[in-house]
Amino acid sequence: MTGAGRPARRRPILVVTHSYYEEDPRVRRQAEALAAAGIPVDVLALRRPGLPARERLDGVDVHRLPVQRHQGAGIGAYLAEYAAFFGRVAFAAVPLHARRRYAVAQVATLPDPLVFALAPLRLDGVPLVLDLHEAMPEFFRSRFPAASRGIVRSTLLGAERASIAFASHVLTVNDALRDRLIALGVRGPKIDVVLNSPRSDRFDPSAHPSRPFMADGRLRLVYAGALTPLYQLDVAVEALARLAHGVDGPALDVTLDLYGRGDAEALLRERAEALGIADRVAFHGRIPVEEVAGRIAAADIGLAPTRRDRFTDFSLSTKIFEYAAMGKPVVASRLPTVERYFGESLCYFEPGDPASLAAAARRVASDRAYREAAVAAAEARVRELSWEREAARYVALIEELARG
């Protein structure tokens, strides 16, 4: 207590993210969890045109720096964007720290070396948390396969190791990524896993009118996420055509609602047109995080089609958690980390195979007992992995670091 009988003011936390804060569910959940615990939070993030340079959102002070994403661009554009944001963060963090005296600073990746932009804070004794959303070397190999070999790959691995060594503590998003880091030589006690599970108050089935399965005789598929080649929505469109044209069985009245944006949109539109199903595929663009649950509630099946490679072998899509939390059956690519967490509570298909995806959707549509059992099992798993549990662990970790 202070001399006036008031609780001592808690020192704030700085969070840095190379993303648009309002569109980054993980960073938002973390920042809001800290704010809800009474810890002041400042966020340094990218700035989309039309948004203010500073804004207070749900108790979090968001500082938007004048750098924008170049999704789908070449490697040169990515590096230029990373360098610009690095410089802006380094320039902004020091005066903020001089005023605010941060207890802990956290950097969300990619890119991993962004943590070095906070070197002055580290030298001043501020613990740095590196939140590894993805494996940077594997991401670049997946995104730029021709350019991520030899010396480039060695450089990426070296940058990853140096960033981890510089950080005081490391977070990552699932056990598979933690195992990968330990195999690279990172000490186990330095790493904690904070899952990307959704907030139960934001993804609450009772808060939205839920569509009974195929209530009007139409099978409504939904996808909420980025429209990029990593997520094989071309495979989903091909599967939709197979279902609509009755290639593998009776023709179904089926539609696909896509919520998101990305560099694959033009090709997806062209493919849907070529297959004669353009009227069955709706492109809604990016929607606010707060609206996603309602759109899922209005669908029948949630899709999580992901390409399989070394990068996605460590992936656990947040979309799966969101669909399952809303009580919808999930048709997902068969990936090792997804199976590790969800077992047989999802209906899997082989990545890259439209016939396999169509068969999985057809099975969900035709087998009520299987569908209801899968939904119940996935819902139970999401409850076990709830964000409320993860948030409590995350806040406790930050508070421990803040105590030094």
pLDDT 10s digits, 327-337: 999 999 999 99
| 215 belongs to a structural domain | yes
How many domains does the structure of the chain reveal?
Answer: 2
What does pLDDT average to over the chain?
93
Is residue 146 located within the same domain as residue 263? no
Within a domain: 4: no
pLDDT in tens, 236-279: 999 999 999 999 899 999 999 999 999 899 999 999 999 999 99
Confidence (pLDDT) at 69: 80
Are residue 366 and residue 396 in the same domain, yes or no? no
Please indicate, yes or no, whether residues 284 and 364 belong to a single structural domain of this protein. yes
pLDDT at position 10:
86
**Structural domain contains residue 160:** yes
Q: What is the pLDDT of residues 62-83, one digit of tens each?
A: 999 999 887 666 777 888 999 9
Look up the CATH number of the domain holding residue 176: 3.40.50.2000
> What's the domain range around 25?
13-197+387-403
pLDDT band, residue 110 (cuts 50/70/90): confident
Same domain membership, residue 262 and residue 141: no
Residues 193 and 171 in one domain: yes
Do both 172 and 226 map to the same domain? no
What local confidence, expressed as pLDDT, does residue 153 receive?
83
What mean pLDDT do residues 113-128 have?
97
In this model, does residue 9 exceed pLDDT 80? Answer: no
Q: How large is the average pLDDT for residues 5-11?
A: 63
Cα angle 14-17-23, degrees, rounded to a multiple of 5: 120
The model's pLDDT over 344-397, given as tens digits with 9 standing for 90+, comes to 999 999 999 999 999 999 999 999 999 999 999 999 999 999 999 999 999 999
Q: Are residues 275 and 301 in the same domain?
A: yes
Q: Are residues 82 and 165 in the same domain?
A: yes
Is residue 217, in this structure, part of any structural domain at all?
Answer: yes
Residue 286 belongs to a domain: yes
Are 160 and 229 within one domain?
A: no
Do 245 and 170 have their domain in common?
A: no
| The pLDDT of residue 142 | 83
